[in-house]
Chain A
Amino acid sequence: MSISRRDFLKASALTTAATIIGVESLVDNKIFAAALQEGIVWHKSVCRFCGVGCGVMLGVKDGKPLGIKGDKENTINAGLLCVKGFYLHKVITAKNRLLYPLIRKNGKLERASWDEALNLVAGKFKEILEKNGPDALAYYGSGQAETEESYLAGKLFRGFIGTNNVDGNPRLCMASAAGGYISTFGADEPIGTYDDIDYCDLFLLVGTNTAEAHPVIFDRLVNRKKKSPNCKIIIIDPRKTPTNKIADLHIMVKPGYDLAVLHAIARLLIKDGYADEQFIKDSVVFSNGKDPISYDDYKKFLEKYTPEYAAEQAEVQAEDIIKIAKMFGESPTAMSMWTMGVNQRTAGVFLNNLIHNIHLLTGKLGKPGCDSFSLTGQPNACGGVREGGTLTQLLPGHRSVGNEQHRKEVAAIWKIAPDKIQPKVGKHAVAMFEAAAKGEIKGLYVLCTNPAQSLPNLNKYIQGMKDAFLVVNESFFPTETAKIADVVFPVAFWGEKEGVYGCTERRSQYMAKALEPAGEAKWDGEVIIEIAKRMGYAEGFQYLKTPEDVWNEYLKFTAGKDMDLSGATYDRLKKLRGLRWPVPNTNHPGTWHRFTKEDPFFPKDKAGDKRMYFYAKPEGKAVIFARPNKGPEEPTSTEYPIALTTGRILEQWHTMTMTGQIPELLRANPNPYVEINPKDAQSWNIQNKDKVKVSTKRGSLVMNAKVIDRPRRGTVFIPWHWPESLTNILTNDAVDAVSKEPEYKVAACKIEKA
């Protein structure tokens, strides 16, 4: 908003007069508010926290962050923010900002110059490369890094150093969702968008505490339910959460035993006539995971999954499963949403497939109000990592390491020899840190993440990280990882650099640089480019002067691909509130539903009359999978009789490097705790606030008991945020066979009074 000096003076005079004569001012407060904000510039950006992608406006005056407000022009949140986003500007000036480079000398991290730190890293990486080969080096990135940063790191490690040891923390949260989308539909990321929420009559929430983990989406669900009284919400989760306040039906499944429930729902949908037979005929094939099977084979496979059988498996009521199937079948529209309760499982990809199955069976896809929609945990896991190609098996632009043609395409843009990119997939996250623990990986570059707190079964991996030459790009200090690093680069935080984030709904959004970086901090991209230059790879990096240069090079990888971002130039993104790919040219508005006539790549000639054509699959057909009913890797036992599940709370985010700096957020839950069902607490003789010791095969922690009617009986829940109580000492590092995502959500534990 701008006002003229004339308006301002007029208003000022009027107010002064009104004050003098003692009457209530009738002048426009807006003008005064704006006047007071003279010199404040509001910069359009995207929230730094979860994957929802809320638009925010960062107010800056005299080079300092003054405030934050929701961006009301942004259709994702329409001005609304959650409690984390609300305090985002305070994180910029938090006391724990790292202001200068650190190098470990004589066992201690000491202040160093940029030159010294960069030369040390480049020299050490080069030495490891020459002595031990490229696979002795690894990059571990983040779904919080900007796309430009992730892209640059992938380019350096794959294209110039020559290793596919390129992975990141989305392996720990979204890899199973990506695996599910790719195996079922042939391409990663959802078919629909948030817009579908506003048309949906039935939400199936599986393993998601939407109210706390994605509050702005929760608000959209609340609004939808308010507007449409017939709208129903079903929850499948082992725990009651604040999301339950809007639920119509909740089944509290035993952790790790919900696959049978999804199969039972699929069986009932077919049996009770809710299947869309024409859609199945047009757009679906069936598979047992190895070979194609027929529709009849699939029906035979499902016969075992009666509601009673599934109920026995999951320890829920059969009639509730019948109700869910009926509600899903009868509802004209339906959206499923899920997060870590589905993904962080050794059956994570299977469970993703089974959710997709019920949408494919009923044709509830690719039309307003219908989608099988994964909620993303981090703000740029979709954009920078899944699209930018920084998971070990991926190359930029939804390409695969294993595909020779894809490697050639990438090599051509990077102007490197085609065989420079290895054809073999590198180490995924857990394997990468396992290799460091074994001494096989000797140099590790960690960017914008905190694996020394976030990896599962932490005790197994910390020493390996200490032994390796560990380099960390961080905005904050200390973090658990930075504390054990050999070199820590201070990097610009959100608001101090420009770049692009790609959120849950395929939307890429530009974030402005509003401030100069704190202290000596630099843009992560500049750090990567400097390391590359000092390692002798200047020709591949020195022409990339700005984030926009990097983005423009990255766009070349997307041209003609299912995730075409050619029309999402910086110029456009600066003006718009993001664009949802495919957006193949600068006149294109972006796409609501993929694989339908709305999609610019929809092949009308091949599709004929079919409503959906999954062009990333050979026959244009999505796959319904008859997946085995896999349980958790670590079932409860006589020694460890209680199921342990871990997760998030509203006020904190991941390892608390950001939200842990905000006193207001800390006040909500100042200390680590374990949630215990009141009936269990009674039988275990535990009172609220008692100190208890929680133990798994991997370790023990002492914390407060929070006796609360949330977890189902026989299950306890621990939030994983507090660095002083590392929950991941307890969690299991067994991984999904396909996605390699660890099973944070289910372990076996025991509890005793401390």
Chain B
Amino acid sequence: MKIKIYSIVFITVAVTFFLGFTNSNVHSSSSKLLGDKHPDVDWTIGCVDCHQETTPEIFTAWSNSKHGTSGFGCYICHGDGQEVFYKKGQDNTCLGCHSEKEVNYKNLKVKSCFDCHNGHTLKFHNKGE
């Protein structure tokens, strides 16, 4: 019986809080964006080839960010677009590379990397939005 209760608690917690530690194969079960699809486009070209024309502001913000400087492309947060697509970046993708930046949310009102960091400029406290 006790084991059953523990299991229920565990499952509740699992649904409530997303495992935000790693670049994990486990995806956020609470993300309502999971079902979103990238429009069907010419998949023979890279993200940047298209997005510098279709979303120039976002491209420029990314390009001037540290990710852009290093060439870490759209796919790292948004997936390849076809097999994997996240409309909004997820903490687990951040923490796979930046495990040293893991935050203890205990005394914070924010609950996600993107509550403080702009997703494209990567500036802290969403400066530059």
Q: Measuring CB to CB, which residues of chain A are less than 8 angstroms from any residue of chain B?
A: 9, 11-13, 15-16, 19, 24-30, 32-33, 35-37, 57, 59, 65-72, 78-83, 85-87, 89-90, 211-212, 215, 218-219, 222, 242, 245-246, 650-651, 663-671
Contacts and interface: CB of A to CB of B under 8 A. Distances in A.
A72 B26 contact: no
B79 A13 contact: no
Interface in B1-31: 6, 9-10, 12-14, 16-17, 19-26
A30 B104 contact: yes
Interface string B71-92: 1111110011111100000001
A671 B44 contact: yes
Interface of B: 6, 9-10, 12-14, 16-17, 19-26, 43-48, 66, 69-76, 79-84, 92, 95-102, 104-107, 109, 111
A29 B17 contact: yes
14 contacts: A12-B10, A19-B16, A28-B106, A30-B104, A33-B21, A35-B10, A70-B98, A71-B99, A72-B99, A86-B97, A245-B69, A667-B74, A668-B75, A670-B43
A612 B106 CA distance: 52
Nearest to B22: A67
Given A15-B17, A242-B71, A663-B82, A82 B97 contact: yes
B21 A80 contact: no
A13 B98 CA distance: 30
Chain A contact surface mostly:
helix
Given A667-B46, A668-B47, 19 more contacts: A12-B10, A16-B9, A29-B20, A29-B104, A30-B105, A33-B17, A68-B23, A69-B21, A69-B22, A70-B97, A81-B96, A90-B25, A211-B69, A215-B71, A218-B70, A219-B70, A242-B69, A650-B71, A671-B44
B73 to A, nearest CB: 5
A670 B44 contact: yes
B97 A668 contact: no
B10 to A, nearest CB: 7
Given A59-B24, A83-B72, A211-B69, A78 B79 contact: no
A664 B93 CA distance: 12
Nearest to B20: A33
Nearest to A71: B99
Nearest to A649: B71
A579 to B, nearest CB: 22
A68 B20 CA distance: 12
Interface centre among A29, A57, A211, A215 (most CB of B within 10 A): A29
A32 B16 CA distance: 10
Contacts of A651: 73, 75
A89 B75 contact: no
Contact of A664 (B22, B48, B84, B106): B84
Contact of A222 (B25, B26, B66, B82): B66
Contacts of B46: 667-670
Interface centre among B44, B47, B72 (most CB of A within 10 A): B72
A669 B45 CA distance: 7
Contact of A68 (B9, B22, B45, B107): B22
A22 to B, nearest CB: 13
Contacts of B25: 65-67, 89-90
Contact of B76 (A15, A37, A86): A86
A9 B6 contact: yes
Contacts of A16: 9, 12
A208 B81 CA distance: 31
Contacts of A28: 104-106
Contacts of A212: 71
Smallest CB-CB A-B distances: 7 pairs? A79-B100, A67-B22, A67-B24, A667-B80, A663-B80, A664-B75, A69-B99
A66 B27 CA distance: 11
Given A29-B105, A86-B76, A667 B24 contact: no
A80 B106 contact: no
Contacts of A27: 106
Nearest to A651: B73
A572 to B, nearest CB: 24
A754 to B, nearest CB: 16
B100 A663 contact: no
A668 B73 contact: yes
A87 B23 CA distance: 8
A36 B100 contact: no
A650 to B, nearest CB: 5
A212 B71 CA distance: 7
A36 B104 contact: no
A463 B80 CA distance: 37
B27 to A, nearest CB: 11
Contacts of A36: 13-14, 17, 19
Contacts of B24: 59, 66-67
A620 B22 CA distance: 49
A670 B46 CA distance: 6
A669 B49 CA distance: 9
Interface centre among B46, B69, B96 (most CB of A within 10 A): B96
A725 B12 CA distance: 51
A492 B47 CA distance: 34
A17 to B, nearest CB: 11
A668 B73 CA distance: 7
A665 B107 CA distance: 37
A697 to B, nearest CB: 31
A218 B44 CA distance: 29
B124 to A, nearest CB: 14
Given A669-B46, A670-B44, A15 B97 contact: no
B22 A59 contact: yes
Contacts of A90: 25
A19 B47 CA distance: 39
Contact of A667 (B10, B14, B81, B102): B81
